[in-house]
Amino acid sequence: MVSGNLFHFRRNSWPPEEYINRATLQLLDFDSATPPEQALRRKLNSHASILKEFSITFMEAIKMIRLGIRLWHYVREEASYGRKAPIDPFTRESCKPSATQGVPLGGMGSGSISRGFRGEFRHFQILPGTCETSPMMANQFSIFISRDGGNKKYASVLAPGQHEGLGKSSDQGISSWGWNLTGQHSTYHALFPRAWTIYDGEPDPELKISCRQISPFIPHNYRESSLPTAVFVYTLVNTGKERAKVSLLFTWANSIGGVSHLTGDHVNEPFIGEDGVAGVLLHHKTAKDNPPVTYAIAACETQNVSVSVLPCFGLDEGSCITAKHMWGTMVQDGHFDRENFSKGRSMPSSPGETHCAAVSASTWVEPHGKCTVAFSVAWSSPKVKFCKGKSYHRRYTKYYGTSEKAAKDLVHDALTNYKLWEEEIEKWQNPILQDDRLPEWYKFTLFNELYFLVAGGTVWIDSSLPIEDSSGIKSLIVKNKKAKKNEGRVVHRSAVVVKEAAGSGSDTSADASRRFSDEEDSGTCRNLDGENYFPTPSNKSAEPLNDNDDVGKFLYLEGVEYIMWCTYDVHFYASFALLELFPKIELSIQREFANAVLAEDTRKVKFLAEGNWGIRKVKGAVPHDLGTHDPWHEMNAYNIHDTSRWKDLNPKFVLQVYRDFAATRDFSFGADVWPAVCAAIEYMEQFDRDNDGLIENDGFPDQTYDAWTVHGISTYCGSLWLAALQAAAAMAMQLGDQDFAEKCKGKFIKANAVFEEKLWNGSYFNYDSGSSSNSKSIQADQLAGQWYTAASGLPDLFDEYKIRSALQKIHDFNVMKVRGGRMGAVNGMHPNGKVDETCMQSREIWTGVTYAAAATMIHAGMKEQAFTTAEGIFIAGWSEEGFGYSFQTPEGWTMDGHFRSLIYMRPLSIWGMQWALSPSKTLLEAPKINIMDKTNVASVNENPSHNETAVRKMAKKVGCFSNAVFHCSC
């Protein structure tokens, strides 16, 4: 970990006593009811401002007008088929985004529900690719307290009353509830995957309440982490002299967000399960033939806690039991009739009618006594269906089956196992939380950014085969004949002999002059043998995986506004989180992309930026994403540019594969993906047009900065290419392919000299080698290749002096010249200290890129600059003085704080910082390959840059493997 006191931050930047009375903390200090000191904190009465979205300038609008027109037509065309376009800047949610988000509920991949810091449930993502942002205000916890024989009573919803929608005609009866909480003495604490709300004498001055929210997100646990459930544990401490009867109420609407509760045919059903678990099942019939969803809300009855239910009440005056009547019953009695458990299913709701359910848990708390009450919610949607027809079973069905009754089993297991979950969560988090050398903001931001693995629209399926296609026929993706042929091509998983695999990879180089044929628009997908092929997760290797390694298939969105699965240029940044916490999922995703590299899909696509046509997936090219409406079967949902001409995707694939291989030492994985690595490298040769070993950009935004044009050699793509050549050579050496290693070595040495000659200016690497107004811009991401090189345990790409000089330039200009370093690193900065405003992306601060730059600084031994850089994202995004982006970190923001694309994948790259801080834990003897001295190729670069004034330093040599391909005289 880190050593020494590195930071200039307040040591106690979040003192608990500023938020909660210390005596209250001591009273609650048992059974995990007290939040950790290292947690994000907010008062419940904090102002939740409306977030401001970015806007483009007039000149940017002029440049993008043709793209805008084509995109508008495309969005309308997709809507005519009942589909949502993957990128739709024209449609706005009816609920404006606000600074209200908190820790989401549930594990990964089975749908998610977010819960705001003030207690509202919102952002329902039960159906894949769909996010219903509006809060369901009927979903609440409430409390009813009676003392002194009923002479003192308190009744309140446990959320402050300034929520949007209350008091309007559309609130459907819930304004009759007691919205009495001010939130002045109540505090929210967030440390994903848990959250605490402390009610310090609200609504009863003599009752201290802690509500602890727990979800089963447990690193390296591939079972519990897939479960769609969460637990709410209430700890009650009576500081008064009188005995208090306390009833807690959990209400839930039969809805999956939006207006789904009004569509009709929804049914509620009470249940009593084992171990005192009792509650209500809410069976939801979805629209548009989507799979049904069943909720379970429940509480656990104990010797001291009594549970009762109201299976069904409504939100309008015509309901048999209204929300107002339900509230009145609780105020008067504190519970419902026990006879309600014997009621069967309710009548189906009519269109326009809302069915809700309630679970009450009642207990007596003695003077100066303590009591614990636990609730749980679960949702069972066993089948995930994509827009174009294919359906799969979710991962949790492997353990709970596909019955609608699974929700009842899920809440039971949640209520009986949550303490074990917490033990594992604390065991994982404590070493970081207790490290005094790390700043507090980093500790909780590190864990809280993981919210995206739940709330980022994740889908985790159990099987690689679809349940059925759109016609109801079982889908047979791979013919037996082809499957056997593929099996014959797989090489034995030894650490040495993969010559055959490498050979098959070398046959996959793409013709630079490839043109799509005059086939039908529908096109075809073909494998390497020219057979019709659909690149799906069913293309497994010949050897079956051990059952412990079979983690199913995992998808996560680029962002809730950019609906594309596993966007690869962004996964490059985010994947450190998966590799650190769920490495088997990370390897599974890499296998998917390896399969895709070797496939083609000749169906024609119109690219909206230029209006030209091309084919959907070119053989040898890494796809931009795994699709939107038919993932795995129809990749590259992104259609702004032709990503087969992008220069960063293939190098990023090689780098991620090598990093994962080096970290896991999984030679089976290495052999499986090696043909794709070879193909990815050879595909890129077409972009080395002057045979100098270095690829060139093509004068359009042909990389992840897809609005920022690049000319000639670029520092971003060029450094990625250099790093990919080195990684490919290292992997070839490990897998015994000496010829390919020597080939990559030769290219690297040649290209490295050209890169430095063309781009190094004495203090940093220029944006590109062109002559445009921004060619000499300081790009925050200029050392992306060096980042991965260091993270993978490989020798540095450049001299130590140049690396540190470039990073210092980024720190001094891109970070510190923007609001004094309190916003993160702006993407582009002119050397005169003015922000590069070439396009909207050059002037934006990208959250994930800032974390990546900080990680690179850590690898270079510049820890203080690293944490100063990353702290800007915390200050602007997560702190109370910031813009309110906690638990919805956007892709980026402008210098005035206007966001673009909330809830975005790339900020997970903060785990790249953690990876850099603990290399001994994460890298298992990664290969050390000595790069030939730069002086050996000095003849290639006889005329150093005229700006270079510093003394050239020699890179520190790294010990060689005995069979290293880069020979030296160590």
DSSP string spanning 553-621? EEE-BSBSSB--BT-HHHHHHHHHHHHHH-HHHHHHHHHHHHHHHT-EEEEEEE-TTT--EEEEE-TTS
What per-residue confidence (pLDDT) applies to 166? Answer: 63
User: What does the block give as tokens for 729?
Assistant: 């050579």
Place of tokens 């003897």: 925
What span, in angstroms and rounded, lies between the C-alpha atoms of 941 and 357? 75
Q: List strand residue ranges (DSSP E) for 69-149, in order.
A: 112-115, 121-125, 140-147
Closest alpha carbon to 870 in 447, 439, 433, 571: 439
Give yes or no for residue 121 having a pLDDT over 50.
yes
What average pLDDT does the chain have? 85
> Do β-strands 525-526 and 600-606 pair in parallel, antiparallel, or remain unpaired?
antiparallel
What per-residue confidence (pLDDT) applies to 920? Answer: 56
Name the CATH code of domain 556-923 (choices 3.40.718.10, 3.40.50.170, 1.50.10.10, 3.40.630.30).
Answer: 1.50.10.10
CA angle 490-792-226, nearest 5°? 70
Closest alpha carbon to 659 in 734, 717, 716: 734
Note the pLDDT tens digit of each residue in 923-967: 434 444 444 333 333 333 333 333 332 222 222 333 333 333 333
Cβ atoms of 740 and 731 within 8 Å: the answer is no
Give yes or no for residue 368 having a pLDDT over 60.
yes
What span, in angstroms and rounded, lies between the C-alpha atoms of 364 and 165? 34
Mean pLDDT of 323-338: 95
What per-residue confidence (pLDDT) applies to 919? Answer: 67
What per-residue confidence (pLDDT) applies to 288? Answer: 84
pTM assigned to the model? 0.88
What span, in angstroms and rounded, lies between the C-alpha atoms of 440 and 103? 18
Q: Amino acid identity, residue 278? A: A
Give yes or no for residue 650 having a pLDDT over 70.
yes
Closest alpha carbon to 893 in 928, 931, 852, 850: 850
Note the pLDDT tens digit of each residue in 48-99: 889 999 888 898 899 899 999 999 999 999 999 999 999 999 988 778 899 9
What span, in angstroms and rounded, lies between the C-alpha atoms of 788 and 727? 9
Give yes or no for residue 641 having a pLDDT over 90.
yes
Closest alpha carbon to 646 in 721, 573, 594, 574: 721
What per-residue confidence (pLDDT) applies to 163? Answer: 64
Note the pLDDT tens digit of each residue in 148-204: 877 889 999 999 986 665 655 555 589 889 999 999 999 999 999 999 999 999 999
pLDDT band of residue 319 (cuts 50, 70, 90) is confident
What span, in angstroms and rounded, lies between the C-alpha atoms of 384 and 632? 14
What per-residue confidence (pLDDT) applies to 27? Answer: 87
User: What does the block give as tokens for 27?
Assistant: 């009273």
Cα 857 from chain centre: 23
How many other CB atoms sit within 10 Å of the CB of residue 471? 7
Sequence spans of domains, the chain? 93-444, 556-923
For residues 538, 541, 544, 547, the Cα torsion angle rounded to the nearest 10 degrees is -60
Note the pLDDT tens digit of each residue in 665-689: 999 999 999 999 999 999 999 999 9
> Do β-strands 892-893 and 899-900 pair in parallel, antiparallel, or remain unpaired?
antiparallel
Q: Which of 124-138, 565-579, 648-662, 706-720 has the lowest mean pLDDT?
A: 124-138
Closest alpha carbon to 798 in 820, 765, 836, 838: 765
DSSP string, 472-515: SPPP--S-HHHHHHHHHHPPP--SS--HHHHHHHHTTPPPTT--
Cβ atoms of 85 and 74 within 8 Å: the answer is yes
User: What does the block give as tokens for 911?
Assistant: 């785990």
Q: Which of 196-210, 299-313, 548-562, 886-900 has the lowest mean pLDDT?
A: 548-562
DSSP string, 645-680: G-SSHHHHHHHHHHHHHHHH--HHHHHHHHHHHHHH
Q: Which of 57-66, 640-649, 836-845 has the lowest mean pLDDT?
A: 57-66
Cβ atoms of 146 and 335 within 8 Å: the answer is no
Query: Does domain 93-444 match CATH 2.70.98.10?
Result: yes
The set of residues, in sequence order, having a beta carbon less than 8 Å from that of 205 and lying 6+ positions away, is: none
Is the fold of 93-444 the same as that of 556-923? no
Place of tokens 């019955």: 403
What span, in angstroms and rounded, lies between the C-alpha atoms of 950 and 838? 30
Note the pLDDT tens digit of each residue in 223-245: 999 999 999 999 999 999 999 99
What span, in angstroms and rounded, lies between the C-alpha atoms of 904 and 26? 38
Note the pLDDT tens digit of each residue in 7-56: 333 344 455 556 778 888 888 888 888 999 889 999 999 888 899 998 88
What per-residue confidence (pLDDT) applies to 358? Answer: 98
User: What does the block give as tokens for 11?
Assistant: 């040591």
Give yes or no for residue 645 having a pLDDT over 60.
yes
What span, in angstroms and rounded, lies between the C-alpha atoms of 158 and 185? 12
Q: Amino acid identity, residue 358? A: A
List 210's β-bridge partners, or say none. 198, 235
User: What does the block give as tokens for 771?
Assistant: 């002559």
Mean pLDDT of 662-667: 93
Give yes or no for residue 582 having a pLDDT over 70.
yes
pLDDT band of residue 409 (cuts 50, 70, 90) is very high
Cα 207 from chain centre: 38
- Choice between 651 and 932, residue whose per-residue pLDDT is larger: 651
Cβ atoms of 294 and 378 within 8 Å: the answer is no
pLDDT band of residue 486 (cuts 50, 70, 90) is very low
What per-residue confidence (pLDDT) applies to 677? Answer: 98
What span, in angstroms and rounded, lies between the C-alpha atoms of 450 and 576? 11
User: What does the block give as tokens for 686?
Assistant: 């077409």
Widest CA span of the chain, in angstroms? 95
Cβ atoms of 785 and 859 within 8 Å: the answer is no
What span, in angstroms and rounded, lies between the C-alpha atoms of 367 and 365? 7
pLDDT band of residue 658 (cuts 50, 70, 90) is very high
What per-residue confidence (pLDDT) applies to 489? Answer: 31
Mean pLDDT of 633-661: 97
Give yes or no for residue 819 having a pLDDT over 50.
yes
What span, in angstroms and rounded, lies between the C-alpha atoms of 569 and 647? 10
